[in-house]
A and B are shown apart, each in its own frame.
Chain A
Amino acid sequence: MTASERSRVEVLAHEECLRLLGEEQVGRVVVIAGGTPQIFPVNYVLDGETIVFRSDPGTKLDAAGRASACFEIDAFDRTDHSGWSVVAHGRLEEIDRYRGPAYDHVRALALEPWADGSKAHWLRLVPFALTGRRLPGVDRDI
């Protein structure tokens, strides 16, 4: 990003970040696995201010329970390069049956995985930071 582009970036308010998170269905979870960052696209739902998704037992993502993670959604227009992105930083936690009411709560969310597989585990990212940026687009004639 050049200095002139950076100066045009609009910082999104917390409420706007939450609104966008509530509208989207697919995002990307990032965890450090084996010392390297790994990106996993997931479909998710926003539950209050937490991001809930499902994982298959035995996967790298599933093994990342309680790890630091971040989550990203975005939408960009490739013609005028306008768009926005929202990133949540937080900690992953698995919501299993031993969590009692929390387990019943996440299972009742409208969260049908797009892919097959058991997707038997419910994970949620509890953000401690939520940041959003919007790019107003560029004049292609400049």
Chain B
Amino acid sequence: MALVDVDRNGLEILDRGDCLRLLACTTLGRIAVTSGGLPVILPVNFLLDDDRILIRTSPGTKLDAATANAVVAFEVDAMDSFSHTGWSVSVTGMSRQLTDPSDLDRVRTLPLARWAPTPGEHVVAISTDVINGRRIPEGHRVPGSA
């Protein structure tokens, strides 16, 4: 068995490459923003484009306002309630609306039809400057039989 780093809770620490690979094969995540000083979270469809996370927002919404040049958190996970195994990846990064026309043109060609932004929608990019991943390995904890 390959040596893996574990944290103080016995969870495997996923490196940046692992985290980006997991983000690349996931289409739904949760974005957390600060709105009116309070934390807000909501599920969003996303696409990993190189090392940035792209989501779409509708002008005038709270999410749209809260992702304009702000620090946000983003999370994806997969958990199995039966085996108590799973993984999660958390990102903290800067979010900003894409405005560069050539960047937007390229984004519209990305292979996710439903995701493709329609006119009037904003595309928001979240940097993956800080990225942390953990995996709960199999057999890590046997669920109680009671």
Residues of A within 8 A of B (CB): 1-3, 6, 25-26, 28, 30-32, 35-39, 41, 56, 68-72, 74, 76, 78, 81, 83, 85, 87, 89, 112-117, 138
- 3 tightest A-B CB contacts, nearest first: A117-B9, A116-B10, A37-B32
Interface of B is mostly: strand
Q: Do B141 and A39 touch (CB < 8 A)?
A: no
Residue on A with the closest CB to B63? A1
Interface residues on B, range: 35 or more
Residues of B within 8 A of A (CB): 8-11, 27-28, 30, 32-34, 37-43, 45, 56, 58, 71-75, 77, 79, 81, 84, 86, 88, 90, 92, 114, 118, 121, 136, 140-141, 143-144
Q: Do B10 and A30 touch (CB < 8 A)?
A: no
Q: Name the B residues within 8 Å of A6 (CB-CB).
A: 58
- Give which listed residue, B43, B73, B79, B143, contacts A30 with CB less than 8 A: B73
Interface of A is mostly: strand
